[in-house]
Amino acid sequence: MSGVKKTYFGTDGIRGRVGEYPITPDFMLKLGWAAGQVFAQEGCQHNVLIGKDTRISGYMFESSLEAGLAASGVNIQLLGPMPTPAIAYLTRTFRAQAGIVISASHNPHFDNGIKFFSHEGLKLPDEIEFKIEEYLDKPMTTVDSGQLGKASRISDASGRYIEFCKATIPSPIDFNGVKVVVDCAHGSTYHIAPHVFEELGAKVIRLGVQPDGLNINDGVGATKPEKMRQTVLEEKADFGIALDGDGDRLIMVDHQGEIVDGDELVYIIARSRLHAGSLKGPVVGTLMSNLGMEHALERLGVVLKRAAVGDRYVMEMMQQYDSVLGGESSGHIICRDRTSTGDGIVSALQVMAEMWKQDKSLHELKQGMEKYPQCLINVKIREKVNIESIPSALTAKAEVERELGNSGRVLLRSSGTEPLIRVMVEGRDRSMVETLAKQLAGAVGDALAA
């Protein structure tokens, strides 16, 4: 179905503002039914897991999805508030046919969305999403009452996932004497992440662990790590860990209060795997991954492959090259030799294990990589345009690339969600980068106006 555009599914499920179509109870009822029709096509009842983050609308959508799935004859197992990567893991271990996540990740409470995992704990393939959309256009029916799906609750889901996380690092490793700030963004890891690190011996200072349905990602978490950074300095902690609302992003802070982003964390894990002899295939980043990471990996003899922006595309390229490690600057890190999707807790444990093995601080471990300054400017456009089809814009880009030489990088791309052309220039010299980015943005604006 190449070239055919999906109506509802984006690169990361279905997402929007609560109460605005399609993020409404009636649509979720129909979505549950449509998904159930696809999942039940083998003619027997299958289990589908449903988990959610802590935003208040999750209760409403959980009930709607449950009713729709039951109407199609599918059994449901409810997990309650659980991180997205936990739902992927539990879908595999319970041998469920699919897992459903009710979450809008790092967005505010007034947004919500739906993500699906296959029985392998991977994002659904396009052909299944297309099939679900086909059923969304059909009249809703209900199976005979004797064939209706049943719902049950899994009471030990949190404990199962905590044990899984701990098992992703070797058993001799413990974190006794380590003082760490853990920021759960008032999200779905609030009752899990602190326990993982405490059970491995760390002294945990908790942030963002009092969800009220409205405060998810509000001034805390991976997208707003300033409170975590301040707490690390005030408490003289060894480092800080910030997760986002659904637990698939990780940003860390070292003992000096310096932010350690996804690119730096991927570099640390890559070097760890390389030294252990377990780094397989290239490391996969995105078009936005810092050039400093690429150069640092090159010095280790490791190749960086760049996928389109989005963890879905990172995973697709990792599968293509049979890679074990990939990630984004935003903190989506996929350790494919440990789990099937981006997992903030698991990624943090891999970094902490390397600190333990090397007997080095996070600040010391990140020293092998120099982050290059990046300047991103958004150029507004009236209507969607393929920037690659405008010769004058490409000429201006080539001129900037010549000026940067091998010490920099230029990216022009259309936003997938807004009427914008994103202009990104990256290089060693911040002043030069900012000047060239403004120059290129001006040239792109002129080209679009012509």
Please confirm, yes or no, whether 105 is among the known catalytic residues: yes
- Which residues of the chain fall below pLDDT 50? 1, 43
Beta strands in 178-282 (DSSP E): 179-183, 203-207, 239-243, 250-254, 259-260
Domain 374-449: give its CATH superfamily.
Alpha-D-phosphohexomutase, C-terminal domain (3.30.310.50)
Phi/psi region, residue 316 (left: phi>0; alpha: psi -120 to 50; beta: rest), is alpha
Predicted pLDDT at 1: 47
CATH fold for the domain made of 14-155: Alpha-D-Glucose-1,6-Bisphosphate; Chain A, domain 3 (3.40.120)
The number of C-alpha atoms within 13 Å of 402 and in the hemisphere containing its C-beta is: 6
The domain spans of the chain are 14-155, 161-368, 374-449
Of 57, 64, 72, 105, catalytic: 105
Using CB atoms within 10 Å of the CB of residue 406, give its burial: 0 to 12 exposed, 13 to 18 middle, 19+ buried. Answer: exposed
Predicted pLDDT at 69: 97
Predicted pLDDT at 309: 87
For domain 161-368, say whether CATH 3.40.120.10 is its number.
yes
Interval 302-348: pLDDT, tens: 999 999 988 999 999 999 999 999 999 999 999 999 999 999 999 99
Please, which residues bridge with residue 370 across strands? Answer: none
One fold for 161-368 and 374-449: no
CB < 8 Å & 24+ apart, contacts of 438-445 = 438/375, 438/377, 439/396, 439/400, 440/377, 440/396, 440/397, 440/400, 440/410, 440/412, 441/377, 441/379, 443/392, 443/393, 443/396, 444/379, 444/387, 444/393, 444/396, 444/412, 445/379
Predicted pLDDT at 18: 98
